[in-house]
Chain A
Amino acid sequence: MNRSGALRLVPVYTLLLLAAGLTLLPLLWMVLASFKNNEDFMGSVFVPRDSDGNIALGRFTLEHYRTLGGRENFLRPLINSAFLASVTAIGATLVCAAGGYALAKYNFKGRKLCTGLVLGAMLVPGPLLLAPGYQVLHTVGLLDTFYGLILPALAPAFGVFLFRQAAMVSVPTELIEAARIDGCGEGRTFFTIAMPLLRPMIGTFLMITFLGVWNNFISPQVVLQDSDKFPLSVAVAQLRGTYYQDYGLQMAGTLVSIVPVFLLFLPLQRDFVSGMTSGAVKG
């Protein structure tokens, strides 16, 4: 890179770093707020100060985290979220992988119809199902249960579609034929031959679903009544109602809800992004 080229990049770096700074600033502010008592929250923007206006790092406090761990028993929603997100992610991945593989790799009567069903179902907007979905859960007696949250989320049509595309590209038909000739059953072929070949899509889809459930607010808000069953999304929103003036506590609860997914997903960001964009760029 010659000097004029490097100079040309200075404004580029400036703008990008500005954008990165503006992205991180709210997060940094939240972290600091979660360690400040309410007096310091009101009195300082970032770092707490003493009465003379000097920086006073000693004033940072764990009181909000103590409240969360003790009085609010935030471990409960944390476990609920982890449970709901992992069970749904694993279940939906199995259901969608099986369906997508069947549509991609079998010639059967009704294949066109089923594919059309999947494509049509992708068009059905979520909000349309909110009120009647509640009615259905009431009828089958699944309101206020984990089943009422997990079961409806097990078969997203776009998941079947994604796995159908993936199976068409990455599971060679000759391999399935060869397995059949060797006497391998259809189910075993799916689990031992197709699934390993679908691994990249399985990874992406597990992540998308886990994140989607973890961050979902409206479904648990509508379905659950019993506060012992609340996931973090609902429990955190309750904090805002209960401790309206207690900003530090609200920020601590929010931080506790965000940190696990950051720890889980930031290292995998590259796969996540490539999985996310592969469909769009090719399509």
Chain B
Amino acid sequence: MTTLSAKRVAPWALLTPFLVVFAIFTAWPLAWSLWLSLHQSYGPGVSTYVGVGNYSSMLADPLFWLSLKNTTLYTLGSVFIQLPLALGLAMLLEMPGLRGRGVIRLVLFSPSLVGVVFAAMLFGIIFEKRTGLLNQLLNGAFGVSLDTPWLSTYILWALILASLWMYVGFNMVYFSAALQNVRRELVEAATVDGAGPVDRFVHVVLPAIRPVASFVVLLSIIGSLQLFELPYLMLDVAGKPNDDGKTLIMYLYTRGFDLGDLGYASAVGWVLGLVLIGVTVVERLIARNEAEGSA
């Protein structure tokens, strides 16, 4: 009898820490953010009801649209530049007969251990005009001007380059794990049947790595949409207002924590949150359809 009741109580006892923390630090703020987003606030104490005012002023704010545009361009850049490169590197790395694979993988993967703040510190200086590594190298090799403004005019490219350094190896690791699961016989059979490298890639390799590829695409999109530290540190410290590289989270941060309007910040959070949830749901649906289609 005691064991029976112990068996009934045990799962709740085991789940209690999770449920308590979840209730206080996820469910409660989640509900509160809905309320907050309908208020204007001045620091965490004071607020007035403004209805959908936060949302309408957001839609009327050119800075919001600029942040949205920057975030979108950066995300597209990450997906369309970084992921093909990561896949390419993975395919090179998985070539049969290659030696030193482990060391190369270790080197390419290592930047993903570096936190975004720390990478932002590093690249903030690498992209400096006269003394930065990038301009020094480009100047030495191709005679590009030492004053090429990576931190203003070309900030989006700078962000894409820095995140390429940080994540290309990380994504490569996923692709290379997927490629290891592509059946060698299938590729060989296709070769015997006269399929060229392009045909083999499109008809054999790509379908086989599709589930992982769609997962990596999802991770990249979600991560890119939340870009913050990189432009925050690279742009804001110089003391000159520079909106060229402003992202949605920077917009949220400035409104909520520099200007103290947590209500407005919550409204921005909801817009960004719904986009993120939307992306995830769409990806899940596509993945499920594909799984059913191939089954």
Contacts and interface: CB of A to CB of B under 8 A. Distances in A.
B113 A131 contact: no
Given A151-B21, A155-B18, 15 more contacts: A9-B98, A13-B98, A106-B7, A131-B33, A131-B252, A132-B29, A132-B36, A135-B262, A136-B32, A186-B10, A215-B118, A217-B115, A217-B229, A261-B115, A280-B212
Interface of B: 3, 6-15, 17-19, 21-22, 24-26, 28-30, 32-33, 36, 44-45, 89, 92-93, 95, 97-98, 104-111, 113-118, 121-126, 128, 130-131, 133, 136-137, 140, 165, 168-169, 173-174, 177-178, 181, 211-212, 215-216, 222, 226, 228-229, 233, 237-238, 248-249, 252-253, 256-257, 262-263, 265-266, 269-270, 272-273, 276-277, 280
Contact of A23 (B13, B169, B173): B169
Nearest to A29: B133
10 contacts: A20-B107, A114-B15, A127-B249, A134-B262, A155-B17, A214-B115, A215-B117, A216-B115, A236-B117, A280-B212
A190 interface: yes
A131 B24 contact: no
Contact of A277 (B36, B113, B174): B174
B14 A129 contact: no
Nearest to A138: B44
Nearest to B164: A22
Contact of A129 (B7, B30, B257): B30
B263 to A, nearest CB: 8
B262 A132 contact: yes
Contacts of B109: 269, 273
Nearest to A1: B97
Centre residue among B121, B238, B277 by max chain A CB count within 10 A? B121
A178 interface: no
A132 B33 contact: yes
B17 to A, nearest CB: 4
Interface in A192-248: 211, 214-218, 222, 233, 236-237, 239-241, 244, 247
A58 interface: no
Contacts of B165: 22-23, 26
B272 A136 contact: no
Q: Is the interface of A mostly helix, strand, loop or mixed?
A: helix
Contacts of B114: 215, 258, 261
Contacts of A138: 44-45
Nearest to B34: A132
A95 B177 contact: no
A240 B226 contact: no
Given A152-B21, A273-B109, A16 B118 contact: no
B40 to A, nearest CB: 12
A129 B29 CA distance: 6
Contacts of A266: 106, 110, 113
B169 A222 contact: no
A129 B252 CA distance: 11
A80 B86 CA distance: 35
B90 to A, nearest CB: 11
Contacts of A127: 226, 248-249, 252, 269, 272-273, 276
